[in-house]
Amino acid sequence: MNYMFKTLLYVVLAGVLFSCSETQDHQSEMTLNGTLEGNYAGYVDLYKRAGGEWQKIDSAKVENNEFTLHAGLSLPELYYISIAGDNNLVSFFAEPSEITFTASADDFKNAEISGSQAQVEFLAHQEKMKMFDDMMNEAYNNIKEARANDDEEAFEKWNQEYEDVEDQQMQFLLDNAMTHNNSVIAAYSVDRNSYLFDEQDLEPVVNKFDPSISESVYVKNLKERVATLKRVAIGQPAVDFTMDDMEGNPVTLSSLYGNYLLVDFWASWCGPCRRENPFVVEAYQQYKDKGFDILGVSLDSKKDKWLEAVEADNLTWHHVSDLKQWNNEASNLYAVKSIPSNVLLDPEGTIIAKNLRGEELQAKLSELLD
């Protein structure tokens, strides 16, 4: 992708996404008046996500095809409306206003929502992010085709294309949050994609958010993430934790100090993790007798699947898990929001590298141990 096209795309997107008003009306309640066409006489439920859990906010019975829901909130936040049945869930940005919701019981997901300026901005955000996603999906499909055809030139071309678009997307999110620093939707968009960024990226954005949105859940999330990332930055001492191994015995991270130690976050259900495992196995086999060790931290929820993957992939090192998947306590301590992810510790337990992938791990170990 040439420089002129990248610049033009960036300018167009930056102008469109936040063309709507960004001022927030600090009232205290949303009233949602709904119309549900079709033969449905059950309940409509209003939810939000809090702490990784579904939290029911309100519920109303549909009478004469109408219902009303209420929620107390002062700033826009992502809410969900559902009715009984499979996949009958609609997300929207609630705000303190009168909102109108119209849907069919037979086509609930294609609801029409009006009365929320935040929802207008949210839909614009989704549309612009879809543009990036479509470009990356095209590049990814071409990468797979090039790999299948053993076409190294095409593989390199499309791999670079993918990385270029991903870089554009990341810069777009950060710059819009800096420019539109009193928009909750801007904060949401960075928070939703925060796994892409390190503390150097996020801290300037967090510091520039306007006080008017400081109580937004998304701003609070980002502040907490920056603090966590700084605690586990390169050069910091590792954050200790204790977790049960495959036999149910507690293992403390610091008990393994004395060697260079890779703390490897992964899961049996994670395709990229399983594809990465052969590189980790090769590194372990080459350096395990030279002062290198590994602690695998699984984000599984099913013990049998975890144990099967350990055996199938020949992962012959230490393993722990609390079987809480994304609520894994160790992964939360290390701000892990995507896997595979890892941190490399020196023999004293200081973090010296992060997210070494593929041959990077062997190269680093060669530098340290050869």
pLDDT values of the chain reduced to their tens digit, one per residue, 370 residues: 443 334 434 444 444 444 333 334 445 899 999 999 998 989 999 999 987 789 999 999 999 999 999 999 999 999 999 998 777 899 999 999 999 999 999 999 999 999 999 999 999 988 999 999 999 999 999 999 998 999 999 989 998 999 999 999 999 999 999 999 999 999 999 999 999 999 999 999 999 999 999 999 999 999 999 999 999 999 999 999 999 999 999 999 999 999 999 999 999 999 999 999 999 999 999 999 999 999 999 999 999 999 999 999 999 999 999 999 999 999 999 999 999 999 999 999 999 999 999 899 999 999 999 9
Last residue of some domain: 103, 119, 135? 119
Whether residue 69 sits in one domain with residue 47: yes
Residue 237 is assigned to a structural domain of this protein: no
Pair (56, 141) in one structural domain: no
Identify whether 23 is part of a domain.
no
> How would you classify the pairing of strands 29-37 and 98-104?
parallel
Same domain for 227 and 110 = no
Residues 313 and 327 in one domain: yes
Q: What are the φ/ψ torsions at residue 335 (nearest 5 degrees)?
A: 55, 35
321 inside domain:
yes
Torsion of CA 113, 119, 123, 125, to 10 degrees: -170
Which SS3 state, helix, strand or coil, does residue 310 take?
helix
Are 114 and 180 found together in one domain? no
| Residue 89 and residue 213 in one domain | no
Number of domains in the chain: 3
Q: Are residues 352 and 274 in the same domain?
A: yes
Q: Would you say residue 205 lies in a domain?
A: yes
pTM of the complete model beyond 0.85: no
Cα gap 161→263, rounded to integer Å: 31
Q: In whole angstroms, what is the distance from residue 148 CA to residue 335 CA?
A: 35
Is 236 inside any structural domain? no
Among 97, 119, 141, the domain-final residue is: 119
Estimate the share of the chain in helix, then strand, then coil, as percent rounded to the nearest 5.
45, 25, 30
Q: Let me know if residue 258 belongs to a domain.
A: yes
Do residue 72 and residue 151 come from a single domain? no
Which CATH number goes with the domain that contains 337?
3.40.30.10
Answer yes or no: are the C-beta atoms of 124 and 20 closer than 8 Å.
yes
The range of the structural domain enclosing residue 269 comes to 242-369
User: What CA–CA distance (Å, rounded) separates 77 from 118?
Assistant: 9
Q: Are residues 254 and 349 in the same domain?
A: yes
Q: Judge whether 127 lies within some domain.
A: yes
For position 353, what pLDDT does the model report? 97
Q: What angle do CA 340, 168, 360 make, to 5 degrees?
A: 35
- The phi and psi torsions of 320 (rounded to 5 degrees) equal -140, 160
Q: Tell me the residue type at 245.
A: D
> Measured between alpha carbons, how far is 17 from 170 in angstroms, rounded to an integer?
15
215 and 364 in one domain? no
**DSSP tag of 73:** -
Q: 159 and 54 in one domain?
A: no
In the listed set 119, 135, 159, which residue is the last one of a domain according to the structure? 119
192 with 127, same domain? yes
CATH code of the domain in which 103 resides:
2.60.40.180
Report if residue 24 sits inside a domain: no
Specify the amino acid at residue 6.
K
